[in-house]
Chain A
Amino acid sequence: MNRTGLVAFLLSTSMAWSYVPLDPAHPNIHRSDYANVQFLVNQAVAPGLNNANGSAWITSDSDPLGAIAGALSTWSGIATSALQFAPAGTTAAVNTPTDRQNVIVFSDTPANRSLLGSTVLALTTCMYMASDGAITDSDIVFNPAYTFSTSMAYNTVDLQAVLTHELGHALGAGHTTVLGASMFQATSYNDNHQATLSPDDIAFAASRYPAQGGNGNGILIGKATLSNGSPIRGGAVTVLDPSSGITIGSLTSLTDGSFEFQAPPGNYLIYVEPLGGYVVPANLNIPSSTVVDTNFQSTFLGGNDNPSMVNLTAGASLSVNIQADGPPPMFQTPYLATDSAGSSGDMVLFERGPVSISSGQAADILISGPGIDPLTEQDLQILGAGISIRAGTLRKDTISLNWQPVYRVTVDIAPAAISTLGTLVLSKGSNLATFTGVFAVGQAPAASIQP
């Protein structure tokens, strides 16, 4: 093949990723030092650290170095990946993106405040060579506008959860379409579920940096199209094993709708859903000039009336094509909350995003939002392992939210359901919407949360 031909081939080849890359425009951003990634912790990081205004930045009851070590070992502990972080050293260096040192900093300077803005909790500046995508420097900078802790203290942000997420960026991961995963774009106060890697986060590390003997995954490739045959560009595709709860998301190619997954062996449902609601294209760093198809509704392989399962085995490669149809979903992204099972009329904090619930107990899930009312038990389904809706418990609460009624339903969470995700499926007639991994099930927090 001559040089011109090769270039043309490279340009026309579709890009299908088994995870959402840090930058869809430069999907090759990666670490070449993945077998021994060295992070340094700036020496100012300590319990009781205040910001420049004298406000608590790290609470005095925190163990920041323990949390940092914990986040590094979480990523290093993935058996199916060759990825390893070296134990963190300490340094007087700060975040200098050109010094080829990866530094974790709490440094309240005008430059860092300008870089962070007022909204992000922390960020990672990934410097890379444009020629080959190799990351040369990745500093993680925490925002002095927030208070971090490792104790789940009231109104604080969990340091380890945030760092675990930022380390994912330092490895080349972008944000995910799986709402309860560590690489989801947002977090809540007093919530540490993102300190635990979900199968979606693990699938990124295992496919980007596979273990020497292989990662034991199977491969699923395919294409998502609309019923008129045109490709679905930038659709969120999910594989979900209802018996294990394994939920892995990816994005279809922005040019031809193709997709590729690496997932552990299992029996999977596969569906494509439009970006919108909790995750929109900009959250995934998709350039605003790029066309993303959203004029369809969540559609399962085999059809929404009778979804088919795909059996994936280690080392196997399967090919599946999904055809999705309109109309666009009538359900807007719901507001969700949890509360004690069987209660009513309580004051609760609603979230637009993932909701954490504890395993081994029953809980009420509260749902509200435009398009939800009226809701029947037949309209509601939760896909995942060890999460079941208790029959006959769906009821309208006495409270309302933004003039919309609030529904409550009691769910039972098996004790064995730890660090698993539940996906909410809402359907009415031929309308169906999926909220992938929106329930993050974990162990009950060790520390009590005082209002």
Chain B
Amino acid sequence: MVDRSDLIVTGQVTRTWTAWDDQRQYIWTHNEIAAHTVDKGSPIQKVVVSEPGGVVDGVGMRVAGMPNYAQGEEVMLFLERMPNGYLRTLGLGQGKLRVAVDGRVHLTQTGADLIRIRGARPGTALESLEALPASQVRQLVTRLVQQRQSGRQQ
């Protein structure tokens, strides 16, 4: 998940809104995150995460299994840049960890709209992150990011 993320941030959801895309094809729900920390990608203060679906002017659009965000939520996010420029949650909701008031992370989704189920394989199982302190997860992520960078230089 670290490899496939363009941006890994921890922050708070400050605002959500819905809008048609530029082509007026699809309705998207945009979620603004005030970033506290950036563990992969360029340092940034604000991030907008967009997911398809929402209601605009009496027209609704719904796609099953898309992650959703609530204002005020503390989250750790693994984000992927789409061809249209939007940042989306990696692996649908798999890339959204909720950070509880006690500072521990909680998975919010186990795999969603008809994603293929992965068999068990070496690596860090996402489930093993459940209820770990966010600081510990960030250490793990930072270490993986650094490993990948030094790997590329060799």
**A258: B residues at CB distance < 8 A:** none
Q: Once the chains are docked, how many angstroms separate the CA of A115 from the CA of B24? A: 13
**B92: A residues at CB distance < 8 A:** 117, 119-120
Given contacts A22-B62, A287-B70, contact A401 B120 (CB under 8 A): yes
> Nearest Cβ in chain A — how far from B138, in angstroms?
21
Given contacts A126-B63, A282-B67, contact A188 B109 (CB under 8 A): no
| A130 near B83: Cβ-Cβ < 8 Å | no
- Taking each of B23, B65, B67, B94, which has the highest tally of chain A beta carbons within 10 Å of its own beta carbon? B65
> Nearest Cβ in chain B — how far from A417, in angstroms?
23
Q: Once the chains are docked, how many angstroms separate the CA of A153 from the CA of B8? A: 36
A-B contact count (CB 8 A): 170
Q: Once the chains are docked, how many angstroms separate the CA of A23 from the CA of B94? A: 19
Is B150 an interface position by the 8 A CB rule? no
Q: Which residues 370-409 of A have a CB within 8 angstroms of B?
A: 401-402
Q: Which residues 74-101 of B have a CB within 8 angstroms of A?
A: 80, 82-84, 86, 88, 90-94, 96, 98
Q: Once the chains are docked, how many angstroms separate the CA of A130 from the CA of B107? A: 31
**B66: A residues at CB distance < 8 A:** 285
Is B132 an interface position by the 8 A CB rule? no
| B70 near A282: Cβ-Cβ < 8 Å | no
| B62 near A187: Cβ-Cβ < 8 Å | no
The contact of B112 among A22, A29, A120, by CB within 8 Å, is A120
| A169 near B119: Cβ-Cβ < 8 Å | no
Is A128 an interface position by the 8 A CB rule? yes
**B64: A residues at CB distance < 8 A:** 22, 123-124, 169, 174-175, 185, 285
Q: Once the chains are docked, how many angstroms separate the CA of A147 from the CA of B52? A: 23
**A188: B residues at CB distance < 8 A:** 116-117
Q: Which residues 140-171 of A have a CB within 8 angstroms of B?
A: 146, 157, 162, 165-166, 169
A111-137 vs B: 1/0 string, CB under 8 Å? 101110111111111111111010000
- Taking each of B24, B60, B70, which has the highest tally of chain A beta carbons within 10 Å of its own beta carbon? B60
- Taking each of B88, B92, B117, B118, which has the highest tally of chain A beta carbons within 10 Å of its own beta carbon? B117
Is B73 an interface position by the 8 A CB rule? yes
| A123 near B63: Cβ-Cβ < 8 Å | yes
Q: Interface size class for chain B?
A: 35 or more
- By beta carbon, the residue of chain B nearest A335 is B120
Given contacts A117-B80, A162-B114, contact A128 B109 (CB under 8 A): no
| A353 near B117: Cβ-Cβ < 8 Å | yes
Chain B interface, >50% SS class: loop
Q: Once the chains are docked, how many angstroms separate the CA of A288 from the CA of B98? A: 10
**B108: A residues at CB distance < 8 A:** 280, 282, 288
**A175: B residues at CB distance < 8 A:** 64-65, 112-113
| A121 near B115: Cβ-Cβ < 8 Å | yes
A93-116 vs B: 1/0 string, CB under 8 Å? 000111000000000001101110
> Nearest Cβ in chain B — how far from A53, in angstroms?
13
**B96: A residues at CB distance < 8 A:** 282
Chain A interface, >50% SS class: loop
Q: Once the chains are docked, how many angstroms separate the CA of A311 from the CA of B67? A: 39
**B133: A residues at CB distance < 8 A:** none
Is A90 an interface position by the 8 A CB rule? no
Q: Which residues 16-74 of B have a CB within 8 angstroms of A?
A: 23-26, 52, 55, 58-71, 73
| A402 near B120: Cβ-Cβ < 8 Å | yes
Is A13 an interface position by the 8 A CB rule? no
Given contacts A97-B25, A335-B120, contact A120 B114 (CB under 8 A): yes
The contact of A350 among B112, B115, B119, by CB within 8 Å, is B119
Is A277 an interface position by the 8 A CB rule? yes
Q: Once the chains are docked, how many angstroms separate the CA of A282 from the CA of B93? A: 7
| B59 near A127: Cβ-Cβ < 8 Å | yes
| A125 near B52: Cβ-Cβ < 8 Å | yes
A398-427 vs B: 1/0 string, CB under 8 Å? 000110000000000000000000000000
- By beta carbon, the residue of chain A nearest B25 is A97
Q: Which residues 320-335 of A have a CB within 8 angstroms of B?
A: 332-333, 335
B120-131 vs A: 1/0 string, CB under 8 Å? 100001011000
**A296: B residues at CB distance < 8 A:** none
Is A189 an interface position by the 8 A CB rule? yes
Q: Once the chains are docked, how many angstroms separate the CA of A124 from the CA of B4? A: 25
**A117: B residues at CB distance < 8 A:** 80, 82, 88, 92
- Taking each of B4, B114, B125, which has the highest tally of chain A beta carbons within 10 Å of its own beta carbon? B114
**A126: B residues at CB distance < 8 A:** 61-63
| B65 near A283: Cβ-Cβ < 8 Å | yes
Which A residues are closer than 8 A to B by beta carbons? 22-23, 26, 29, 96-98, 110-111, 113-115, 117-131, 133, 146, 157, 162, 165-166, 169, 174-175, 185-189, 277-280, 282-283, 285, 287-289, 332-333, 335, 349-353, 401-402
- Please list the 3 inter-chain residue pairs (A to B) with the smallest Cβ-Cβ separation, ordered nearest first: A289-B70, A110-B83, A114-B84
